[in-house]
Structure 1
Amino acid sequence: MTHNNNNVVSRSNDPEQIDLIDLVLQLWRGKWVIGAFIAVFIMLALAYIMLAKEKWTSTAIISQPDAAQIATYSNALNILYGGAAPSMLDIQTRAIGRFNSAFSALSQALNNQEVPEKLTIEAAVKGQSLPLSVSYVGESAEAAQKQLAQYIQIVDEQTAKELSLDLKDNIKQQITTLNDSLQNQEKVSQEQKDLRMKQIGEALKFAEAAKITTPKIQQTQDVTQETMFLLGSEALNSMIQHEATRPLVFSGAYYQTKQNLLDIQNLNVNPDTIHVYRYVMKPDLPIRRDSPKKGITLILATLLGGIIGSGVVLGRNALRNYQRREI
């Protein structure tokens, strides 16, 4: 009996147990103060939830354009460069690459505004360049979805116009190149004609000097520059008149160049027919806002109010006890 009583006394004199019980009692006695702080912080949290700007994030996933979306541009390149034109896959990859660069530039510009806007583009799958995930943060779910779709369209149209302008510059350059080629071929053909006229003229001089008026050879295919005078002055005069009025003779390469030039001159790619991306997932309508989060905000407000209220109660009691000991 005596042993049990000693154990009870020993436990009751344990300073840690006494402090814990005293702490709980102090908090219980100050429950109204703690409750008041919690109520105040909950009210502040509700005011924050009501007044803070909402943030909603709409997301879309895009990839390289389909062949049909870039067909007019691809066909123009094939006409422009023939066998040296890039493949369809290369064109698709370059198109989405330019879209990515333009979208990133727009994102940076929006972020540097006086009132920043959050527009992001990144790889949808880590370690893979495609597809791309694009997102926009707005003040409402509908606004975020609409604005994201609008920015994607703006970048698409801008990139398509840039591709069209680049194509026009390439067309001008190629037209210049082909015209130069035609002029060179015409010059060579004219020089060949002039040389032919000169050769016939020299042969005519020899024929007149030798007083040969009629042909002295039967097989014309055996005629060379040295034996041409044997055709006679009459035949040579006729040949000179014929050569003078005959149009220039061109090779098949000349007419192929001419055809290529006409095809290129008729190229007219409308930017509206070019699209540099394809939707894997259109901009979604977010169902949960990013902030403010009502549940988490209220929980944090309750915890913060309880902690501060408890601190006030314990601090006030500690101050009173200290003042009593001083007296």
Structure 2
Amino acid sequence: MSARHAQPHSGPSNEPDLLHLLLALWQGRITILICATLAAVLAAGYLWFDKPRWTASALITLPGDADMAGYTSLTNILTPVIASKVVNNAMDEKKPVSNGDIKEMNFSRAMAMLDAQGPGIVGFKAEAQDKEMPWPVKISVSADDAQSAARELDSVLMATDMQLRQAVKEELNYLIDTRITQLNTFISAQETVAEEKKADRLNNLKQALLVAREANVAQLSVQQVSTLNNDALFVLGSDALSAMIDNERSRPLQLSDSYYQLRQELLELKTFRQQPFQYSAFSYIVKPTVPLQPDDRRSALLIVLALLAGVITGAAITIARKGLQHALSQQTQLA
């Protein structure tokens, strides 16, 4: 009977119940508090030394008509082949070039240039705001303070615009020089042909004059002269032929309408080279502005997580210490 009553108290339990666990945690509350405080201090120190980042943004889209005034006016002057090369970069493509095509092409070039610079710019992001359209695009840049972020973003966009403007200007100058060379060649060829025609006409009149004198034809001997060929010009008479030869030498060259169109295009291209070049590959919907608040680092959440980690660490230390004390107590009793 005494053995049955003593059996429930034959040895201590190896696993403390909930009451013992809570008691152990209460006894180790100082340790838990120290760990939680230390974790919070470390988190606060991290937030203090890790300065917040500031992000400035701008919203850009296709250039406007005023931004592309110099560019589009040139493509209107150039021939379709050259204008096609400006847009399509292929001399053999002669499809019509619209104002929208020119804007999209230049905006794509600006975005490609920005993307190429992106890896070297802190916090650079370029995000299209429309899933179905490649524009408008939000450009973002980060820095240690708000003013620096806005200046950096403005500098990046301005540098891109200026660099692209210079590249486009050099390309257009090359195309203009090429076209001017072509026009001069075409104009010179037409003038040469016109001079040869004039010389040939003068020789035919001289030959007709010799025939008229040999045939003693001094006066006009026919009524209809509009259908006369070179061999029959002598019928005009030596008097008329002599006057025609004298006037032929001073008569201006007979040039076609295409000649004067080429001269007009040449003059327009030369005038364009002397004018200020207006160009911008994009326009602003929202210009770079100073950000009003830093990037969200979730400081409060970090402090809470640090306190939670400190409490857990302190509890683990307390339980481990109690467990060690319990094990040492058992060894002492057994000894």
Specify which of 263, 270, 278 is matched with residue 276 of structure 2: 270
- Which segment drifts farther, 273-282 or 176-185? 273-282
Local SS of the residue matching 1:256: helix
Local SS of the residue matching 1:122: strand
Local SS of the residue matching 2:230: coil
Partner in structure 2 of residue 24 of structure 1: 22
Local SS of the residue matching 2:229: coil
Partner in structure 2 of residue 215 of structure 1: 220
Partner in structure 2 of residue 253 of structure 1: 258
Q: TM-score, normalised by structure 1?
A: 0.85
- Tell me how far 1:291 sits from its aligned partner: 5.8
Aligned partner letter, 2:39:
F
Partner in structure 1 of residue 105 of structure 2: 94
Is contact 1:64–1:93 with CA below 8 Å preserved after alignment?
yes
- Which segment drifts farther, 65-74 or 279-288? 279-288
Is contact 1:52–1:292 with CA below 8 Å preserved after alignment?
no
1:57 aligns with 2:46: no
* 1:17-70 Cα shifts (integer Å, max 9, x gaps): x53332222222111101101111111112111111321112221111221222
Is contact 1:56–1:291 with CA below 8 Å preserved after alignment?
no
Specify which of 298, 302, 317 is matched with residue 297 of structure 1: 302
Local SS of the residue matching 2:101: helix
* 1:77-111 Cα shifts (integer Å, max 9, x gaps): 21234796732212221221121111112213x15
Task: Let me know the Cα RMSD of the aligned residues.
Answer: 2.5
Provide closer, same or farther for how the CA distance between residues 25 and 126 of structure 1 changes in structure 2, counting only shifts above 3 A. farther
> Which structure 2 segments of 5+ residues have no match?
1-7, 84-95
1:107 aligns with 2:112: no
- Distance, in Å, in 2 between the alignment partners of 1:289 and 1:182 is 65
Where in structure 2 are the equivalents of 1:1-327 lying within 5 Å? 19-81=17-79, 86-108=97-119, 110-111=120-121, 117-268=122-273, 269-271=275-277, 273-290=278-295, 292-327=297-332
- Tell me how far 1:182 sits from its aligned partner: 0.4
Q: Percent identity?
A: 29
- Distance, in Å, in 2 between the alignment partners of 1:103 and 1:270 is 25
- Distance, in Å, in 1 between the alignment partners of 2:320 and 2:135 is 59
- Distance, in Å, in 2 between the alignment partners of 1:36 and 1:126 is 52
- Distance, in Å, in 2 between the alignment partners of 1:210 and 1:323 is 152
Aligned partner letter, 1:158:
Q
Aligned partner letter, 2:214:
A
- Tell me how far 1:228 sits from its aligned partner: 0.8
Aligned partner letter, 1:170:
L
Partner in structure 2 of residue 114 of structure 1: none
Partner in structure 2 of residue 6 of structure 1: none
> Which structure 1 segments of 5+ residues have no match?
1-8, 112-116
Q: TM-score, normalised by structure 2?
A: 0.83
